[in-house]
A and B are shown apart, each in its own frame.
Chain A
Amino acid sequence: MLLRRLKLKNFRQFKGEQILEFSTDSEKNVTVIMGENGSGKTTLAQAFTWCLYGDTDFEDQSMLCKAVVQTMIPNSEETVRVELDLVHNNIEYTIIREQHYTLDLRGNLKRSNSVFKIAYKNKDGQREFVKDLETDLRMKEILPKELSRYFFFDGERIGNMSKELKKGKSKEFAQAVRGLLGLSAIMAAINHLNGKSRTSVIRKYDESYDSTSDNKIAQYTKEITEYEEKIAKIDTRLEEIENEENIARDKCTDLSEKIKENAECEKLAERKEKLRRELDLLVQSKTTNTASLLKTFNKDASAYFSKKMMKDALQKLSEAEKLDNGIPDIHARTIDFLIMRGKCLCGRKIEVGDDAYNELIKVLEYIPPQSIGVSIGQFVKECELKCKYADTLFNDITEKYSLIRDFEITYAQKEVEIKLIEEKIKGMPKVGEMQKDLIKYENALRQLQVERDELNLQKGKYITLRDRRITERNELTLRDEYNRKIEVYKAYAQYMYNVLNDLYQKKEAETRVELEKNVNEIFRSIYNGGFSLKIDNNYNIQIIVNDFEGYADDVETSTAQSISVIFAFIAGVIKMARQNKNPENEMLVSEPYPLVMDAPLSAFDKKRIQTVCNVLPKVAEQVIIFIKDTDGEIAEAHMSDKVGMRYLFDKKNEFETYIVRRG
């Protein structure tokens, strides 16, 4: 697959129609697209995946240029369109994806119908369209989605890709790699000879026996077909079981690791609980002390603040002794008693209105309760008492306030500790729940194992029954001329199937060894550390430390190592795809692929950028590189003789960027 041209219409910040033509020159096979951060490099890289698969990594799923949206009137429609011209297997394709948008009366932008089409030039040079139902299948043949991320490579998502390359790739991925490595023709031949579908050659021969010679032939054929269907059903389920087991096994490993990592989580949760209880006690204590402070204040504050006035008043009173004209220890009740008795203490008779009576009434004004002297006496006593309490108020309040302040500081400290714990355990799942999940997955694994064993037993039984029927049918068919011919043709088909199957296994193993060799060569040229790479049956990559013989475990890698691994893997696959195109590999069929890379060099130092720049244009048929200004200058300096096309982004504003061709 070689990319020729990308045509954008209103795709994100690329307003209007903009065209990029890629270099397809075998000598100058690099296209460099340079731009500052935020100018649209990643967006342009995403335009490829949107066009091919309808996927992007954008959070805002609207592809329509915002500058265009601003000019839309209600009930109007605009279109986003990306067209990619490419050549695959010598056929010229145009992949077209369109998304229509309408602005409703409320001003909301709505997605309306979308279009995905694949056009190609037929033998006569006429443009035809792949049938709508076949577009996804054809896209899979041109570039399977499982592999696309490795050819449309985003330097900012290295972490996930590196993990995926090391483990956890799907069966589809391995199959897609096998296809790229040239094994697809053998795979197709195997499937056509004896695939699972009803249209395989051997199936067709099975259906062609003439059963008129012996009606048992038809009966045996029917039984054989039934057994085969049962075996196929079991095989499908066995495949599902394998996938389910892989998922469950990964989950178990993942959960066990997490449980181990999160053992601390439990301790933190206990500490948090203890702090919470302490906080409750502090709150109670604070409430009690605050109430006590307020009570003391309410009781003694008036005296405290009026102490100065009381002192001044007492001073004045001490200077005014003459005010007291009362008779000591004589109370109003005494006078009332004398008047009631009608006889004074001296024995004189008292009658209402006489002189004695009037004299006694006058005395009432100076004796308690009205006596000012007595009141003053009481006032003085009260003042003295209040002053005494007021003297302790300040110390009491200070002491209680200090306690409250202390509580507040302790409270705040404990709260901070709780928050820190919460922050720490926020991302940690609860260990108890993880334990439950782990048990669930372990049980599932055991059940799957039991199911698999049972299915294998059943499968063995069906295979024996089928083979017995095949032998019995053979005995009958060989007696008849026509059926004998069918047997002969079928035997040839079976033989070819067996040989091609063996050949496939052999070629696949050889190709994998060759790929490992190529990947290691490229890896060493990019990353000259003491590591090498190993590729297993499922195309998972292990990084091995060379200097420690016998150390077989995978090692943790740095970002630069991870990128080097990915580069090496992609470049290795591309190199082999290119080699397999040579006519001497007549059993293999393959196709060169381009490398489209967004910000691939950002994690590398200058020396590695130079190495990568030297290696990639040599191994890949075509390199399209989106790069920021500074890296771009280094990259261009190192592969200037390989650059066939240069572009840069002219960013007008956040919503408008234009692609400009450079000389």
Chain B
Amino acid sequence: MDNTNSVFINGIEIDTEKAYRLMRRLVIKEKINIKTKQYNDSEMVRMIKKMIEEEVQCY
């Protein structure tokens, strides 16, 4: 992993590009959900976890 694109959190190396991609997806999802009210808080948390796990497992 390119060191310029990574940071360490609690001893874990984070790929910031991946993290930014995730964040953009997350905020857009929140934007949509604010408008549609499709998911409640628990469902949103479950989906965010799934998003993180899918994105992270890719590397």
Contacts and interface: CB of A to CB of B under 8 A. Distances in A.
A499 B34 contact: no
A245 B30 CA distance: 35
Contacts of A586: 24, 27-28, 31
Given A199-B42, A496-B19, A589 B34 contact: yes
A489 B42 contact: no
Contacts of A188: 30, 33-34, 44
Contact of B56 (A91, A186, A488, A494): A488
B10 interface: yes
Given A201-B45, A487-B10, A89 B22 contact: no
A496 B24 contact: no
Contacts of B14: 491-492, 495
Contacts, number: 97
B48 A201 contact: yes
Interface string A109-131: 00000000000000000000000
A185 B34 contact: yes
Contacts of A498: 9
A318 interface: no
Interface residues of A, number: 38
B7 to A, nearest CB: 7
B12 interface: yes
Interface string A190-225: 011100010111001100000000000000000000
B21 to A, nearest CB: 11
Given A189-B26, A192-B30, A586-B27, A491 B9 contact: yes
Contacts of B23: 189, 496, 499-500
B19 A495 contact: yes
B34 A489 contact: no
A369 B56 CA distance: 146
B35 A470 contact: no
Interface in B24-59: 24, 26-28, 30-31, 33-37, 41-42, 44-45, 48-49, 52-53, 55-56
Nearest to B35: A89
A493 B56 CA distance: 11
A71 interface: no
A491 B12 contact: yes
B5 to A, nearest CB: 12
A577 to B, nearest CB: 13
A496 B14 CA distance: 10
A192 B44 CA distance: 7
B54 to A, nearest CB: 10
A136 to B, nearest CB: 14
A511 interface: no
Interface string A483-513: 0000111111111101110000000000000
Contacts of B20: 499
Size class of the contact patch on chain B: 20 to 34
Contact of B45 (A200, A487, A489): A200
B48 A192 contact: yes
A199 B45 contact: yes
A90 interface: yes
Contact of B48 (A138, A193, A494): A193
Contacts of A91: 35-36
Contact of B27 (A189, A478, A489): A189
Contacts of B35: 89-91, 589
B56 A192 contact: no
A495 B14 CA distance: 8
Contacts of A470: 10
A474 B12 CA distance: 10
A443 to B, nearest CB: 42
Contacts of B16: 495
A487 B12 contact: yes
A587 interface: yes
Contacts of A192: 30, 41, 44-45, 48
A39 interface: no
B10 to A, nearest CB: 5
A184 interface: yes
Contacts of A189: 23, 26-27, 30
A193 B56 CA distance: 16
Contact of B19 (A141, A205, A474, A492): A492
B49 to A, nearest CB: 6
A185 B19 contact: no
Most buried by A among B20, B26, B37: B26
Nearest to B18: A492
Nearest to A182: B31
Contact of A89 (B11, B18, B34, B42): B34
Contacts of B52: 201, 489, 492-493
Contacts of B18: 492
A185 B9 contact: no
Contacts of A89: 34-36
B58 to A, nearest CB: 12
B56 A185 contact: no
Contact of B30 (A141, A185, A488, A495): A185
B30 A489 contact: no
A199 B48 contact: no
B31 A185 contact: yes
Given A185-B27, A496-B23, A587-B27, A488 B12 contact: yes
Contacts of B34: 89, 141, 184-185, 188, 589
Contacts of A490: 10
Q: 9 closest pairs, A vs B, by CB? A: A491-B12, A89-B35, A491-B9, A185-B30, A589-B31, A185-B31, A188-B30, A495-B14, A189-B30
Given A197-B41, A474-B11, A494-B10, 19 more contacts: A91-B35, A185-B31, A186-B30, A188-B44, A189-B30, A192-B45, A201-B49, A205-B49, A488-B12, A489-B49, A489-B53, A491-B9, A491-B14, A492-B55, A493-B52, A499-B19, A499-B20, A500-B27, A587-B27
Interface of A: 89-91, 138, 141, 184-186, 188-189, 191-193, 197, 199-201, 204-205, 470, 474, 478, 487-496, 498-500, 586-587, 589
24 contacts: A89-B34, A138-B37, A189-B26, A189-B27, A192-B30, A192-B45, A487-B11, A489-B53, A489-B56, A491-B10, A492-B9, A492-B14, A492-B56, A494-B9, A495-B9, A495-B16, A495-B19, A496-B19, A498-B9, A499-B19, A586-B27, A586-B31, A589-B30, A589-B35
